[in-house]
């Protein structure tokens, strides 16, 4: 695709390239060659072919009603899937809007060029659309292609629907982000948009988990509430616009046309009415400094803390003031909510599985914090130049790393303590073990990095990431077996879980040993 320098197409190519680099598809380890290499391309092509095979096998089992009007149940199901995909698209759109507005830092260059601000905004928005759409086209179009091969031509609607949905999600995300800028200012917008982006991505998972885990009677009650609304002629009946996306995916012409027109209209209106404010928002982002009102009586200090205290306070402050980091860690914690819900509703019968999951999540959270606090230290030279032993600094950092996960676990553990003290004690042990070993492994295997690389922290440190994962799995397996034995009703239990627990304890110890042996010179 040849595009003249300075043309909209040329700028769009630049936008798309930037979207994928920022989505970490590029090889960050080799800055001189950031595109996808031959090996990477082969991997993506292989994965694309594999999805085709899976889609073919799946669709062969399903009667998609070739040539006939699709049954309403299918339309409802497809609409539900559309809603899930759309919530994820909104999440991507919000992240991309924050990124292009506040973080990429190339708007001064673009706005000082002889291109119109409207053109720049249109292309920037189109870049987000293409970026979002291509991810979903990659995973969903194999179903359309496989459907075509099986005679289910209706699934070809996936192509236009994904593009339209990406257009709507990108436009709404940009409108929402710019609206937040107007309401809250740039600084708060970054925080709020990133947190909402993380929440909207997890929303569907949480709803599905909540519905799947409630008691059958509750599900029947919910179904009872919705039944009158879903009846023909009711608000959510078969003719309701709420099912329009599902009908569009299944290639019904009118819904498809309506969805396309909505997407085009939202895109055009977003560009028409917000491109000036986009420029304004971009200018605000450049002068992002918060001018805080100085407190009366001059600056206040809290000197006199010990070395450990100043380091712990510093680490927690830096994390608390990093909304991007919080939203990413928050996302991990959000996935714990269904587990806590399960614990409260079916704690007795599913305790081993829940204990295992909680132990694994504690290890993951601790490893993530350890990366932030140890690897992504902003001023390592300041610490090295200080007249204190590095082991004391590392000890303080380990405390900062290890405290949050057990604190978050305190409530579920207390709840278990009231029901099954022995199980609570065992879970305390596995949580403490997983947290401590995860922190040590992350510290020993730490490689200097920038905080902004949090999402790609596994790259370039395969050994550390592998040890971290195996350590978490070993401790969670151990938690499972110990809790299973503690809740077993038999009078003469099988010795195999005990052997399994001993084996997992050995694996966990081996991971710690490997971590210690592979520690860097500084550690």
- Residues forming contacts to other proteins in the complex (CB under 8 A) are 288-295, 298-307, 309-311, 313-314, 317-318, 321-322, 378-379, 381-389
Q: Residue 322 or residue 468: which is nearer to other proteins going by CB? A: 322
- Say if residue 175 is exposed, middle or buried (CB neighbours under 10 Å; 0-12, 13-18, 19+): middle
**Closest separation between CB of residue 492 and other proteins, Å?**
59
**Closest separation between CB of residue 461 and other proteins, Å?**
23
Q: Residue 265 or residue 388: which is nearer to other proteins going by CB? A: 388
> At which residue do the structure tokens 């089992």 appear?
61
**Closest separation between CB of residue 110 and other proteins, Å?**
23
**Closest separation between CB of residue 326 and other proteins, Å?**
12
Q: Return d(Cα 341, Cα 380) in angstroms, integer.
A: 41
**Closest separation between CB of residue 366 and other proteins, Å?**
21
Q: Residue 30 or residue 302: which is nearer to other proteins going by CB? A: 302
**Closest separation between CB of residue 316 and other proteins, Å?**
11
Q: Return d(Cα 15, Cα 21) in angstroms, integer.
A: 10
Q: Residue 61 or residue 381: which is nearer to other proteins going by CB? A: 381
> At which residue do the structure tokens 């339209």 appear?
164
Secondary structure, 3-state, 87-98: HHHHHHHHHHHH
DSSP 8-state code for residue 492:
S
Is the CB of residue 401 less than 8 Å from the CB of residue 363?
A: no
Q: Residue 168 or residue 376: which is nearer to other proteins going by CB? A: 376
**Closest separation between CB of residue 309 and other proteins, Å?**
7
Which stretches of 150-252 are DSSP H helices?
Answer: 158-184, 186-213, 216-230, 244-249
Query: Token pair for residue 260?
Result: 């396309």
- Residue 162 C-alpha from the chain's centroid: 20
Is the CB of residue 98 less than 8 Å from the CB of residue 193?
A: yes
Q: Return d(Cα 23, Cα 138) in angstroms, integer.
A: 15
Q: Residue 116 or residue 520: which is nearer to other proteins going by CB? A: 520
Whole-number Cα distances in Å, 57 to 52, 147, 245, 249: 9, 10, 25, 20
Q: Residue 309 or residue 456: which is nearer to other proteins going by CB? A: 309
Q: Residue 241 or residue 320: which is nearer to other proteins going by CB? A: 320
Tell me phi and psi for residue 87, to 5 degrees. Answer: -65, -35
Whole-number Cα distances in Å, 126 to 102, 243, 408, 459: 17, 26, 41, 30
Q: Residue 384 or residue 419: which is nearer to other proteins going by CB? A: 384
**Closest separation between CB of residue 276 and other proteins, Å?**
25
Q: Return d(Cα 387, Cα 385) in angstroms, integer.
A: 7
Q: Return d(Cα 320, Cα 326) in angstroms, integer.
A: 7
Residue (of 355, 336, 367, 494) closest to 429 by Cα position: 355
**Closest separation between CB of residue 328 and other proteins, Å?**
16
Q: Return d(Cα 388, Cα 462) in angstroms, integer.
A: 32
Q: Residue 400 or residue 474: which is nearer to other proteins going by CB? A: 400
**Closest separation between CB of residue 48 and other proteins, Å?**
40
Interior angle at CA 244, CA 125 and CA 247, nearest 5: 110
């Amino acid at each position: 695709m040849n595009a003249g320098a300075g043309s909209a197409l040329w700028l769009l190519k630049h936008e798309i390239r930037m979207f994928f680099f920022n989505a970490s598809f590029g090889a960050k380890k080799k800055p001189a060659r950031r595109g996808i290499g031959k090996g990477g391309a082969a991997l993506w092509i292989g994965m694309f072919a594999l999805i085709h095979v899976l889609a073919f096998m799946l669709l062969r089992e399903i009667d998609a009603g070739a040539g006939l009007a699709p049954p309403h149940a299918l339309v409802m199901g497809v609409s539900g899937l559309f809603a899930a995909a759309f919530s994820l698209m909104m999440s991507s759109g919000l992240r991309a809007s924050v990124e292009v507005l506040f973080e990429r830092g190339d708007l001064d260059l673009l706005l000082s060029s002889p291109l119109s601000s409207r053109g720049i905004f249109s292309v920037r928005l189109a870049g987000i659309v293409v970026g979002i759409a291509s991810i979903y086209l990659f995973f969903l179009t194999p179903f359309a292609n496989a459907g075509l091969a099986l005679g289910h031509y209706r699934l070809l609607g996936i192509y236009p629907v994904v593009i339209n949905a990406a257009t709507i999600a990108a436009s709404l995300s940009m409108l929402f982000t710019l609206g937040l800028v107007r309401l809250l200012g740039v600084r708060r917008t970054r925080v709020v948009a990133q947190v909402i982006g993380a929440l909207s991505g997890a929303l569907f998972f949480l709803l599905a988990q909540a519905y799947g885990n409630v008691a059958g009677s509750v599900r029947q009650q919910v179904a009872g509430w919705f039944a009158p609304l879903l009846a023909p002629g009711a608000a959510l009946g078969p003719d309701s616009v709420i099912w329009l996306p599902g009908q569009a995916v299944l290639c019904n012409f009118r819904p498809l046309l309506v969805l396309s027109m909505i997407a085009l209209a939202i895109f055009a209106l977003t560009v028409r009415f917000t491109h000036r404010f986009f420029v304004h928002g971009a200018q605000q982002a450049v002068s992002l400094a918060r001018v805080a009102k100085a407190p009366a009586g001059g600056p206040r200090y809290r000197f006199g803390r010990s070395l450990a205290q100043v380091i712990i306070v510093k680490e927690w402050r830096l994390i608390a003031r990093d909304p991007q980091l919080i939203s990413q860690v928050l996302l991990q914690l959000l996935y714990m909510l269904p587990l806590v819900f399960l614990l409260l509703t079916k704690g007795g019968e599913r305790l081993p599985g829940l204990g295992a999951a909680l132990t694994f999540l504690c290890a993951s959270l601790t490893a993530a914090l350890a990366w932030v606090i140890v690897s992504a230290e902003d001023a390592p030279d300041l610490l090295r130049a200080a007249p204190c032993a590095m082991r004391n600094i590392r000890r303080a950092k380990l405390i900062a790393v290890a405290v949050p996960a057990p604190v978050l676990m305190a409530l579920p553990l207390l709840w278990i303590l009231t029901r099954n003290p022995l199980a609570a004690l065992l879970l305390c042990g596995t949580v403490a073990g997983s947290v401590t070993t995860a922190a040590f492994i992350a510290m020993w295997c730490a490689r200097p990095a920038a905080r902004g690389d949090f999402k790609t922290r596994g790259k370039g440190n395969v050994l550390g990431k592998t040890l971290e994962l195996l350590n978490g799995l070993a401790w969670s397996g151990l938690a499972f077996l110990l809790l299973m034995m503690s809740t077993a009703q038999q009078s003469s239990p099988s010795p195999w879980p005990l052997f399994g627990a001993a084996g997992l304890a050995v694996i966990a110890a081996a991971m710690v040993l490997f971590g210690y042996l592979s520690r860097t010179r500084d550690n």
